[in-house]
């Protein structure tokens, strides 16, 4: 059955008039819901490196409750809050008041918080009541950052985290079960408006620039070995001038390859260090509810390093690689004269 099937006039009267032509769309939605018991769903994800604290969540709750008060509420709203922590511990609060009073007993890092509003309203265009359910899920990256800092990650995992963190963190998930689309759209707009007022986590522009181009940095490092051996051979030819022979070229190429291998070892170490430094400065969306959340977040802020120092280290490594190759070429040319 669909809304178009609700036609007491058959397939149309002499003028082709149907029920859909006589009633507003909101009334048809309400009638359809009353007959079938079905609702529709509107969902959306909001992404960004946002900082969410308890006062922000209070503000969101107040905005939604205020909007609910604009309707003819027949029942509710009832509010359910589910709080998840880093240790997979989940706590369900049956009301907003219980959440505010008992949340202080939480001593773990917050992973997620889900807020559910349920209420029944009567649309002014129809006498039929309609149920609306609003689910707002907030996700924090703090557990992942905490785990990353607590463990010594191999290079491959750091590059995996870089790829993961490069994407905007999906901090808010909205799901609204509705009968009247206009009602659902109003609440969706309120949550989006709230999201846009949130502060961003600290960000160094240079760190962000390098972080999002880490694969390019990795590629440049991989090619500098070839540039190094090319500079070695070029310098050798310049130093030896016309005294080049097959024996000298073979030995010089061998030495150049050895220097290249040594540089590749140094390159792996530098890339790993760069990956750690850049990823440790990236702070996706975090939720700060408990004292553990705040203390962990303070530790992260205190450990933020200079992106300029990282950039200088990358440049110095590349220059050093060329310098070592040229110097090695000069020493071999000098000793073989």
Confidence of residue 332 (pLDDT cuts 50, 70, 90): low
CB 132 within 8 A of CB 181: no
Q: Say how many Å lie between the first and final Cα of the chain, rounded.
A: 95
List Cβ neighbours of 257 (8 Å cut-off, separation of 6 or more): 229
Q: What proportions of the chain, in percent to the nearest 5, are helix, strand and coil?
A: 55, 20, 25
Name the least confident of 121-130, 194-203, 206-215, 309-318: 121-130
Residue 101 scores a pLDDT above 90? no
List Cβ neighbours of 302 (8 Å cut-off, separation of 6 or more): none
Alpha helix ranges (H) inside 173-306: 181-196, 205-211, 214-240, 246-280, 291-302
pLDDT single digits (tens) 285-296? 899 988 888 888
Confidence of residue 155 (pLDDT cuts 50, 70, 90): very low
Order of all β-strands in the sheet with 199-200: 199-200, 50-53, 286-288
Domains of the chain, by residue range, sit at 3-201, 207-335
98 or 271, which is more confident:
98
CB 326 within 8 A of CB 232: yes
CA distance 228 to 93: 63
Q: What is the pLDDT of residue 3?
A: 45
List Cβ neighbours of 261 (8 Å cut-off, separation of 6 or more): none
Which residues face 92 on adjacent strands?
A: 82
Residue 318 scores a pLDDT above 50? yes
Q: What is the pLDDT of residue 324?
A: 73
Whether cis (ω within 30° of 0) applies to the bond prior to 62 is: no
CB 133 within 8 A of CB 99: no
């Amino acid at each position: 059955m669909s809304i178009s099937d609700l036609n007491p006039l058959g397939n149309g009267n002499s003028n082709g008039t149907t029920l859909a032509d006589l009633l507003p769309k909101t009334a048809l939605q309400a009638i359809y819901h009353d007959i079938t018991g079905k609702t529709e769903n509107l969902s959306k994800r909001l992404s960004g490196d946002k900082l969410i604290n308890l006062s922000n969540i209070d503000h969101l709750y107040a905005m939604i409750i205020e909007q609910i008060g604009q309707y003819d509420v027949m029942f509710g709203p009832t509010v359910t809050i589910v709080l998840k922590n880093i240790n997979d511990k989940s706590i369900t609060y049956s009301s907003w008041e219980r959440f505010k009073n008992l949340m202080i007993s939480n001593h773990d890092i917050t992973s997620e918080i889900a807020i559910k509003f349920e209420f029944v309203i009567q649309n002014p265009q129809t006498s039929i009541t309609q149920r609306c359910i609003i689910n707002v899920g907030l996700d924090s990256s703090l557990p992942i950052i905490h785990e990353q800092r607590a463990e010594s990650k191999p290079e491959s995992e750091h590059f995996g985290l870089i790829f993961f963190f490069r994407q905007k963190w999906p901090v808010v998930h909205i799901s609204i079960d509705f009968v009247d689309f206009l009602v659902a759209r109003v609440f969706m707009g309120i949550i989006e408006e709230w999201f846009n007022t949130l502060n961003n986590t600290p960000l160094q522009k240079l760190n962000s620039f390098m972080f999002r181009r880490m694969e390019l940095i990795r590629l440049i490092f991989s090619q500098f070995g070839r540039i190094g051996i090319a500079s070695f051979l070029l310098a050798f030819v310049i130093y030896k001038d016309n005294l080049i022979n097959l024996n000298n070229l073979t030995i010089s190429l061998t030495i150049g390859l050895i220097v290249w291998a040594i540089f590749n070892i140094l390159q792996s170490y530098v890339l790993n260090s760069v990956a750690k430094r850049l990823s440790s400065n990236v702070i996706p969306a975090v939720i700060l509810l408990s004292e553990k959340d705040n203390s962990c977040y303070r530790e992260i802020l205190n450990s933020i390093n200079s992106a300029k120092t990282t950039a200088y280290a990358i440049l110095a490594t590349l220059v050093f690689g060329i310098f070592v190759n040229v110097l090695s070429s000069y020493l071999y040319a000098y000793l073989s004269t």
